[in-house]
Structure 1
Amino acid sequence: MPAWRLRDYHDDDLDQAIRIWDQNRQADDRDPVFPVSEVMAAARAGQAAVVAVVGDELVGMAVAQTQGERAWVVLVALSPRWRDRGIGSALLAELERRLRALGVRRVSALLPASATGTKALEHSGYLTRTGLVYYERIEPPGAANTEVIDHLGGRMLPPGLWEGMAGMEREKQVVERRIVLPLTEPAVADRYGVTPPKAAILFGPPGTGKTSFAKAVASRLSWPFVELFPSRLAAATDAGLAAALRDVFADLAALDSVLLFIDEVEEIAGTRSGQAVDPSHGVTNELLKLIPGFREHDDRLLTCATNSVRSLDPAFLRPGRFDYVIPIGPPNPAARAAIWTRYLGPASDTVDLDHLVRVSELFTPADIEFAARKGAQAAFERELVHRRGAPATTEDYLIAVADTRPTLTAQAIEEFTEDIATYSRL
């Protein structure tokens, strides 16, 4: 048989490593103490991991998790055809060499009796300790997630929010292509070398639907939606906002998946003054340090929204922290027509929709919703007085539009157009 050699574990070894783990599990006829997900997570996270290969074939693997001066051997697996050839002992010796370099002085292993790897451990000088009892408590599926989500004030959003986003088709297409599809089609994305996004910034004038987009994405992904309110965090602790941010991000690490949404993120990520006495300096620094750790986990998406992208700290906007910076602008005529239709309900068949679209040029979706509700209320009150069964009229809604102060201004739209050219990253 050809000779085998040892080398570091590589990410492209994953499929063969899982296959060897499964072969060992079947041969031992019992489940190992450490599940394959935990073993592979340790290997991919840079813990001590060594493989034995023959040509391009992976025939053995050993992985350890370090905890200070102690390390746990979480896997010693060998291909059935390559057992009893000293590979297991060699893998352990190489693993121990790397652990010693990390300052580990005590190496432990926990395996079912007669499992693959026990012979290698015995041949390598490991001692069996008797009189010990192994205890294990397994949480019901989702129990830890539910507890953390409740603690953070998060929730699962109802399905259909994405489909219910009326109008804004330009923005929906960008968010769909750049964010949603790589996360819902990870296998296809991986085949084409597309890395699913981990963080995005939505920017635009107030009321243009940035929060609604974040919620719709969470609904589409069926991920928990957790909204972070910096002002509430600061008020809820005496330790300071930076410490509160660390605690929240530590809690989020326990979730299987999450969309974390931070609205008005400029409150905690504004341009730093450079003065040591600036109280926001430490908070911005802390957030900048937390984002890379958040990005290391799968099935995580950080979505930040801002009305003033130009006020964000330049370091916050770097590509290494945020994959995309997406403009969410005021609705164009087609979008306004779709939004009016959504909120008019039955009245959409009896009013002059084109006229309403023209007179609501500076309206945000929230403005249109308010005017539509106000017009419907006027028609409702008239019916209660006269009882004629007359439908709502265009005039009802035109009066409501005239009584609604638009959120947008010509200056805000001009600044938004400049920000698109300067900051947009799609």
Structure 2
Amino acid sequence: MSAWRVRDFHSDDLDQAVAVWEQSRPTGSPAPVFGFAEAVSAVRAGQPAVVAVAAEEVVGVAIARVDGERAWIQVIALDARWRNRGVGSSLLAGLERRLRGLDVRRISAVLPEDATGSVAMRNSGYHVRTDLTYYEKVEHAAGDAGLLAALGGRMLPPGLWDLLAGMEAEKEAIEHRIVLPLAHPDVADRYGVVPPKAAILFGPPGTGKTSFAKAIASRLQWPFVELFPARLAADSDGLAAALRATFSDLADLDEVLVFIDEVEEIAGVRSGRATDPSHAVTNELLKTIPGFRERGDRLLVCATNSVRALDPAFLRPGRFDYVLPVGPPDRTARAAIWRRYLGPAADDVDLERLVGASELFTPADIEFAARKGAQAAFEREVRDQRGEPATTADYLASIADTRPTLTTDAVTAFAEDIEAHSRQ
């Protein structure tokens, strides 16, 4: 029998914890008092949480929320293969140790009868009280971990926003227009600011539009769901029907950031022929967006390399609050991006030469060139074993050997698109 150990919950345990939570609840079992979305919010807020791991696989999870001298156990879930082995009791013991360190004196839990963890709780000295009646008023449907998984969504780790090196003009615009009103809705309402529900990010390929969308979700700590037109098109009922069904499912989530990359594939300029299949798809998306906007705590972010290719109706203010450019990095941004990918090596090279040599490079191009230069130095060290770090020459050679994503024509077209389509 393999051994297990109990340790603190880490952010990268989330996907496995969701899987354990889902399969620990038999089909038809009563709904738990605390949904997993509530438990995830507790973890994000730094509340105590532990996992049981066997060979680095998460096989159990327990999460609590502290309120003064009382703590509520919100989740106790076990992998079916590891039940009746004492894992649940070990999870509770590990959680209790952390709670005692927070001066908690009373630990409570409300579980459906015979729910996962109930045996462990009785074995761990928890008493069943039959003189209580549980009351509940549900204002709105709780976010559903199973639905999120079915949609291919996930919770992204915190801190992605801070990893966006450089691009300060884009970061400032996106933070002020999008992030802050959504993160502080009460303040926004007090000043008559309506939080956005939809935005378009446009710019040349590789400039970081997808990274910005993920960073927004990370900053808000909202689930991130990316829709792939090609996958939706594989639906037997067709792309338009798949879009309609997917957005219907999304309505059941409490909060969500929905991201569609290369949206011009499904929202391009219509031909005017009603029989054109793309016409029906664009129409369906145009009809879907107003309904999506009616619900709170949700944001649609669409990205495109060619904003001029989008149907004019798609760009109207009633559908998208902002149309924001995400352009190629300037010298300051390129320096910051190089520093991020070079790490400590940035102090040992001529950064200004690298910045000047990578004028038409996107952040993705710089990342590739930085890794290629480091690889060259690594291979030299394996061969010669001289202990020499990567040099300016290594990185200049990797820049010369990297084909930039951007061209002068693309930069010119982007400037024209800003003039014609930007709305911020």
TM-score (norm 1): 0.66
Counterpart contact for 2:372–2:398, Cα < 8 Å: yes
Residue deviations 1:5-37 (CA, integer Å, cap 9, x gap): xxxxxxxxxxxxxxxxxxxxxxxxxxxxxxxxx
Q: How does 1:213-292 map to 2 (within 5 A)?
A: 213-235=212-234, 237-292=235-290
- CA apart distance, 1:273: 0.5
2: CA distance between counterparts of 1:138 and 1:284? 40
Residue deviations 1:96-140 (CA, integer Å, cap 9, x gap): xxxxxxxxxxxxxxxxxxxxxxxxxxxxxxxxxxxxxxxx9999x
What's the counterpart of residue 183 of structure 2? 184
1: CA distance between counterparts of 2:372 and 2:267? 37
What's the counterpart of residue 117 of structure 2? none
CA 1:142 to 1:386, structure 2 compared with 1: closer, same or farther past 3 Å?
Answer: farther
Structure 1: state its 5+ residue gaps: 1-135
Runs of 4+ with >6 A deviation: 136-139
Residue 304 (structure 1) aligned to one of 302, 305, 308 = 302
What's the counterpart of residue 130 of structure 1? none
CA 1:166 to 1:306, structure 2 compared with 1: closer, same or farther past 3 Å?
Answer: same
Q: How does 1:76-225 map to 2 (within 5 A)?
A: 145-225=144-224
CA 1:373 to 1:228, structure 2 compared with 1: closer, same or farther past 3 Å?
Answer: same
CA 1:149 to 1:422, structure 2 compared with 1: closer, same or farther past 3 Å?
Answer: same
Give the number of equivalent residue pairs.
289
- CA apart distance, 1:142: 9.0
- CA apart distance, 1:275: 1.0
- CA apart distance, 1:144: 5.0
Counterpart contact for 2:257–2:300, Cα < 8 Å: yes
Q: How does 1:279-358 map to 2 (within 5 A)?
A: 279-358=277-356
2: CA distance between counterparts of 1:356 and 1:308? 29
What's the counterpart of residue 102 of structure 1? none
CA 1:357 to 1:318, structure 2 compared with 1: closer, same or farther past 3 Å?
Answer: same
What's the counterpart of residue 414 of structure 2? 416
- CA apart distance, 1:276: 2.0
2: CA distance between counterparts of 1:281 and 1:346? 52
CA 1:418 to 1:425, structure 2 compared with 1: closer, same or farther past 3 Å?
Answer: same
2: CA distance between counterparts of 1:331 and 1:262? 23
CA 1:230 to 1:210, structure 2 compared with 1: closer, same or farther past 3 Å?
Answer: same
1: CA distance between counterparts of 2:211 and 2:273? 36
- CA apart distance, 1:277: 2.2
- CA apart distance, 1:300: 0.5
2: CA distance between counterparts of 1:278 and 1:338? 46
1: CA distance between counterparts of 2:179 and 2:192? 16
- CA apart distance, 1:188: 1.0
- CA apart distance, 1:385: 1.1
Residue deviations 1:344-377 (CA, integer Å, cap 9, x gap): 1121011100000000000000000000000000
What's the counterpart of residue 423 of structure 2? 425
2: CA distance between counterparts of 1:305 and 1:299? 20
Counterpart contact for 2:213–2:301, Cα < 8 Å: yes
1: CA distance between counterparts of 2:362 and 2:405? 7
1: CA distance between counterparts of 2:385 and 2:230? 49
Residue 362 (structure 1) aligned to one of 332, 349, 360 = 360
Structure 2: state its 5+ residue gaps: 1-134
What's the counterpart of residue 400 of structure 1? 398
1: CA distance between counterparts of 2:185 and 2:282? 32
What's the counterpart of residue 111 of structure 1? none
TM-score (norm 2): 0.67
After superposition, the CA RMSD in angstroms is: 1.6
Please give the secondary structure, in 1, of the residue aligned with 2:159: coil
Equivalent AA in structure 2 for residue 221 of structure 1? L
Q: Which structure has the bigger radius of gyration?
A: 1
Equivalent AA in structure 2 for residue 300 of structure 1? R
Counterpart contact for 2:224–2:256, Cα < 8 Å: yes
1: CA distance between counterparts of 2:164 and 2:290? 31
What is the identity percentage for the equivalent residue pairs of Structure 1 and Structure 2? 73
Residue deviations 1:228-271 (CA, integer Å, cap 9, x gap): 00001111x11010000011000000000000000000000000
Please give the secondary structure, in 2, of the residue aligned with 1:154: coil
